[in-house]
A = this chain, B = another copy of it.
């Protein structure tokens, strides 16, 4: 059974990659296909934008084309691959960071801003990319390349640049998580219930009680990306300053 699963997965990796990179040869004989993987992915994206990723079932996506769920399997190996196509579909082409100026910091900031914009426009992207992916499409690689390119002038090692990249991606994904979690009504409920609990147990949670009283959990108008990014990039700057003089 494990054997079968593994063989199937291996097949899927190939199929998934061919799909993502558009390297599939189309058939000549038989009826004209009424769909394409791309159109299917677009419909799935529209569905996810409107109702969330959990609403994206093969049935509902197929319904957008008035077609049975099984019809989709003629175009896409399975749901996992469909999700990969959705990810590629919402990513723009490789971002041009030169508009932000010359330094690594403005460029990486620009990268983060654009990346964050994508997650804001498509909050399901977080859950979609959290599913274990075995291959990246050309656009994902393009974004990765742009960020690494921006970091080249820092003088950091390749491994350090990769680490910094991961930190920034991580920051954005965390913001996206907060965005997904957030629900004004529910937030109010949380504050109310947690307030009640803290009243009853303020001795157990003194710092939290003080923080709540000081408004640490009140909604803020500030762009949430700024604080985190400034902290991280300040930290990176410190690293550069420390390593530079020693000839790193």
A binding-site residues for B, Cβ under 8 Å:
13, 17, 21, 127, 130, 132-136, 138, 141-142, 144-146, 148-149, 152, 157-164, 166-167, 169-171, 173-174, 177-178, 180-181, 183, 186, 189-190, 193-194, 197, 201, 204-208, 210-211, 214-218, 220, 227-228, 230-239
Q: Contacts A13-B189, A166-B174, A171-B170 known; A233 to B235 CB distance under 8 Å?
A: yes
A153 to chain B, nearest CB (A): 11
User: Which of B141, B210, B231 sits near A197, CB closer than 8 Å?
Assistant: B141
CA distance A233 to B157 in the complex (A): 20
The reply to whether A205 and B142 form a contact with Cβ atoms under 8 Å apart is yes
Number of copies: 2
Chain B residues with CB under 8 Å of A189's CB are 13, 134
**Closest chain B CB from A17 CB (angstroms):** 6
Q: Which residue of B lies closest to A175 (CB)?
A: B170
* A181→B132 contact, CB < 8 A: yes
Set B13, B149, B208: member contacting A193, Cβ < 8 A: B13
How many whole Å from A123's CB to the nearest CB in chain B? Answer: 12
Complex alpha-carbon distance, A28 and B170, angstroms: 50
Report yes or no: A220 in contact with B145, Cβ–Cβ below 8 A. no
Report, nearest first, the 3 A-B pairs whose CB atoms are least far apart: A170-B174, A231-B235, A158-B214
Q: Is the CB of A208 within 8 A of B144?
A: yes
* Distance in angstroms between the alpha carbons of A3 and B35 in the assembled complex: 38
| With A215-B158, A238-B235: A135-B174 Cβ-Cβ less than 8 Å | no
Residues of B within 8 A of A130 (CB): 127, 130, 177
A206-B149 in contact (CB<8A): yes
* Distance from A117 Cβ to chain B, minimum over Cβ atoms (Å): 19
Point out the residue from B134, B205, B206, B211 that lies within 8 Å of A161, measured CB to CB.
Answer: B211
Report the separation of the CA atoms of residues A80 and B141 in the bound assembly, to the nearest whole angstrom.
Answer: 36
